[in-house]
């Protein structure tokens, strides 16, 4: 997978300065990931130019399904500031890995981003969500365009702000009545958009979202009134059943949880405890 990512990017392994590892923190997962990095990024590097390895889990903890995204955010910020952040709580390197097989070093201390005379590059790995493995290579962006000089952009009067108004009611007739009330309000509102924006915020956050719903968009009060007059074109919301999935790491096939429950007492006890806790809080009509 790493070689495929490098090939797609048109890069050699030595062109990447740092990898943000998935870092399972386990005696099984970490050696597998480290060996892959040693066999790819750790080869054919200049003396004194190792691949630097970190993991966002050491900085903010495990973010579950967002682990890869958090790693991307960390890498982009590190590029921006020109610093490779220290990995916390890393301690001694795993003795399950033969670190002599390639030039890979843990970021035990924060250090300046290595200067190569070209753009900074870092890679991010994220493994294990439903058996999916991902590896992305990031490159420092070029210089930003010069900021627009005052007076060269569009005049404020030509900028168009779209105002959303959320309308809902317990029936189509109630929604129609609410639309009429809002149309009357809009017709008496000053042309300035401030009152229309305030009303849109109040409708979206301060009023119950009832069964019959519609959203009207407009750049001024006339457009909003036209949209309100065209109602009801609504979507009726229906209640559904709520499901909780306890998939865990590596739920790659149907029935894996049931099989694990039957074989592993620790897993069974943990799952039974979670289900019992949910049963105490869920309505009777919900089934676990």
pLDDT digits (tens, 9 = 90+) for 137-173: 999 987 766 555 555 554 444 446 788 888 888 888 8
Q: What is the mean pLDDT of the chain?
A: 80
Residue 135, Cβ neighbours under 10 Å: how many? 20
Per-residue pLDDT of 80-129, as tens digits, reads 999 999 988 776 777 778 888 889 988 889 999 988 778 999 999 987 65
Average pLDDT over residues 66-83: 90
**From CA 175, how far away is CA 232, in angstroms rounded?**
7
Token digits of residue 1: 């997978």
The DSSP bridge partners found for residue 114 are: none
- pLDDT score, position 236: 56
pLDDT at 288 over 60: no
The residue among 10, 89, 12, 101 whose CA lies nearest residue 57 is: 89
**Residue 260: CB partners within 8 Å, gap ≥ 6?**
248, 267, 268
* Cβ atoms of 261 and 271 closer than 8 Å: yes
**From CA 125, how far away is CA 36, in angstroms rounded?**
11
Backbone angles phi, psi at 118, to 5 degrees: -140, -170
**From CA 39, how far away is CA 102, in angstroms rounded?**
7
Count of helices and strands (H, E) across the chain: 9, 10
**From CA 226, how far away is CA 213, in angstroms rounded?**
17
pLDDT at 277 over 80: yes
Token digits of residue 263: 């074989």
pLDDT at 209 over 60: yes
Average pLDDT over residues 14-35: 83
* Cβ atoms of 137 and 11 closer than 8 Å: yes
pLDDT at 49 over 90: no
**From CA 182, how far away is CA 267, in angstroms rounded?**
55
For CA atoms 113, 114, 117, 123, the dihedral sign is negative
- CB-side neighbour CA atoms (13 Å) of 247: 14
* Res. 61 pLDDT band, cuts 50 70 90: confident
* Cβ atoms of 56 and 63 closer than 8 Å: yes
**From CA 39, how far away is CA 19, in angstroms rounded?**
14
- pLDDT score, position 238: 57
* Res. 79 pLDDT band, cuts 50 70 90: very high
């Amino acid at each position: 997978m790493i070689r495929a990512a490098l090939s797609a990017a048109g890069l050699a392994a030595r062109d990447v300065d740092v990898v943000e590892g998935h870092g399972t923190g386990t005696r099984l997962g970490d050696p597998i990931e480290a060996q892959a990095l040693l066999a790819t990024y750790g080869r054919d590097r200049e003396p004194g130019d190792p691949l630097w390895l970190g993991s966002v889990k050491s900085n903010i903890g495990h973010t579950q399904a967002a682990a890869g995204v958090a790693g991307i955010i960390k890498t982009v910020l590190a590029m921006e500031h020109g610093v490779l952040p220290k990995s916390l709580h890393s301690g001694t390197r795993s003795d399950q890995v033969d670190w002599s097989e390639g030039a890979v070093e843990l970021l035990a201390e924060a250090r300046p981003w290595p200067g190569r005379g070209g753009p900074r590059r870092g890679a991010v790995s994220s493994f294990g969500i439903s058996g999916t493995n991902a590896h992305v290579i990031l490159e420092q962006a070029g210089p930003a365009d010069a900021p627009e000089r005052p007076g060269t952009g569009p005049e404020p009067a030509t900028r168009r702000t779209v105002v959303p108004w959320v309308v809902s009611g317990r029936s189509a007739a109630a929604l129609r009545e609410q639309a009429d009330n809002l149309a009357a309000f809009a017709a008496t509102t000053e042309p300035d958009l401030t009152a229309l924006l305030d009303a849109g915020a109040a409708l979206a956050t301060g009023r119950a979202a009832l069964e019959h719903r519609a959203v009207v968009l407009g750049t001024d009060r006339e457009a909003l009134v036209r949209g309100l007059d065209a109602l009801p074109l609504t979507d009726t919301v229906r209640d559904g059943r709520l499901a909780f999935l306890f998939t865990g790491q590596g739920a790659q096939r149907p029935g894996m949880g049931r099989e694990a429950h039957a074989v592993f007492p620790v897993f069974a006890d943990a799952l039974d405890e979670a289900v019992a806790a949910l049963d105490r809080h869920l309505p009777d009509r919900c089934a676990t």
